[in-house]
């Protein structure tokens, strides 16, 4: 079975670990979000790709969900001693090495997809990890600060500001001109099923879908497309998805997110058992829905979710 998964960071990575347990023999291609990539200290940092790679490769800091295990922060401390920031972005010493290798390879002319493949040669994530695009896409968030509207990088909004102010708009800058990375459209066309993990529907999966050609390829693939709600009981399971959903006028409910993707794209949608009442509304909009436990408390729980998603896909197909 060939499965294509659109993934953001922590939620996507943990779901993928469950999927690999639930379907160990499946051929999994991950299309990773690169809209939250950032250049810091002259280095190219791809937080979502790295979170997937480290999580599946056994190098993740389990507790925080991102960054490396047994991490130290000597480089960052020294940069601060030189007065060089930003200090709000947590870059550990081990993590730095990944960005150094990536930056060197990009400078040598390799596209991000080739760089990602080279990094994965070490991590052996057990999936094929593709960036959504080799072209630069950078998610910016419009915020009002002291009565003035300004655009900040998504990382600045998310990490430094902790989404404490409302997002007025979310713009994946460069997406319109971006091309899907080599292999992305081919993987979608060859897929037996496409899954949307409980990743952020705006700044993770939404950004991937903003690359021209990807949404269309998924809609045209003629295979089940099944997603899992990142909203449980009207609140995001993790992160601050409600802030960016509000910016695009979508309610923070499992049903509203399903409606946002729409029946033209989505065939099946899993909501948490606490949102069982929403199943009927979602199905009346033409999307098959089931209520199952959606809290990824451990890999077993994530595997059960993946199993339910694949089961719903088979139901859709039948």
63 CB-near residues (< 8 Å, 6+ apart): none
Concatenating the DSSP letter of every residue in 196-222 gives: E-S--TTTTHHHHHTSTTHHHHHHHS-
Minimum CB–partner distance for residue 278 and a copy of itself (Å): 45
Q: Compare residues 19 and 53 and give the one whose CB is closer to a copy of itself.
A: 53
Of 118 and 235, the one with the shorter C-beta distance to a copy of itself is 118
Min dist CB 45 to a copy of itself, Å, is 13
Between 73 and 136, name the residue whose CB sits nearer to a copy of itself: 73
Q: How far is the CB of 47 from a copy of itself (least distance, A)?
A: 17
C-alpha 238/C-alpha 226 separation (Å) is 20
Q: Can you tell me which residue has the tokens 């997603």? A: 227
The three-point CA angle 182-185-187 to 5° equals 90
Task: Give the residue from 269, 306, 305 showing the smallest Cα distance to 284.
Answer: 269
Of residues 92 and 239, the one with the C-beta less far from a copy of itself: 92
Residue numbers of the site for a copy of itself (CB under 8 A)?
41-43, 72, 74-79, 81-84, 92-94, 96-98, 100-101, 103-104, 107, 119, 122
CB of 131 to a copy of itself, least distance (A): 18
Q: Under DSSP, is residue 295 helix (H, G, I), strand (E, B) or coil?
A: coil
25 labelled ligand-binding: no
Annotated binding site: 50
């Amino acid at each position: 079975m060939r499965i294509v998964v659109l993934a953001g960071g922590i939620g996507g990575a943990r779901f993928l670990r469950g999927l690999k347990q639930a379907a160990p023999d499946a051929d999994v291609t991950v299309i990773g979000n690169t809209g939250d990539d950032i250049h810091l200290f002259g280095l190219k940092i791809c937080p979502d790709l790295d979170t997937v790679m480290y999580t599946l490769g056994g190098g993740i800091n389990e507790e925080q969900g991102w960054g490396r295990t047994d991490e130290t922060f000597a480089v960052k401390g020294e940069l601060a001693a030189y007065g060089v920031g930003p200090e709000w972005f947590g870059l550990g010493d081990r993590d730095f090495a990944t960005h150094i290798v990536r930056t060197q390879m990009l400078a040598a002319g390799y596209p991000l997809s080739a760089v990602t493949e080279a990094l994965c040669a070490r991590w052996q994530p057990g999936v094929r990890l593709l960036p959504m695009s080799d072209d630069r896409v950078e998610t910016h968030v419009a915020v009002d600060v002291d009565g003035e509207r300004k655009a900040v990088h998504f990382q600045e909004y998310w990490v430094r500001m902790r989404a404490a102010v409302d997002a007025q708009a979310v713009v994946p800058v460069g997406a319109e001109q971006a091309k899907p990375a080599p292999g992305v459209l081919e993987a979608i066309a060859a897929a037996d099923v496409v899954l949307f993990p409980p990743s952020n529907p705006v700044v993770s999966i939404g950004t991937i879908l903003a690359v021209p050609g990807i949404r269309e390829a998924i809609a045209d693939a003629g295979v089940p497309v099944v997603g899992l709600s990142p909203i449980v009981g009207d609140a995001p399971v993790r992160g601050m998805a409600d802030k960016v959903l509000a910016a695009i006028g979508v309610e923070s409910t499992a049903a509203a997110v399903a409606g946002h993707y729409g029946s033209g794209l989505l065939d099946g949608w899993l909501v948490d058992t606490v949102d069982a009442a929403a199943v009927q509304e979602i199905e009346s909009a033409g999307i098959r829905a089931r209520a199952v436990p959606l809290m990824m408390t451990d890999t077993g729980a994530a595997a059960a979710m993946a199993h339910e998603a694949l089961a719903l896909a088979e139901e859709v197909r039948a």
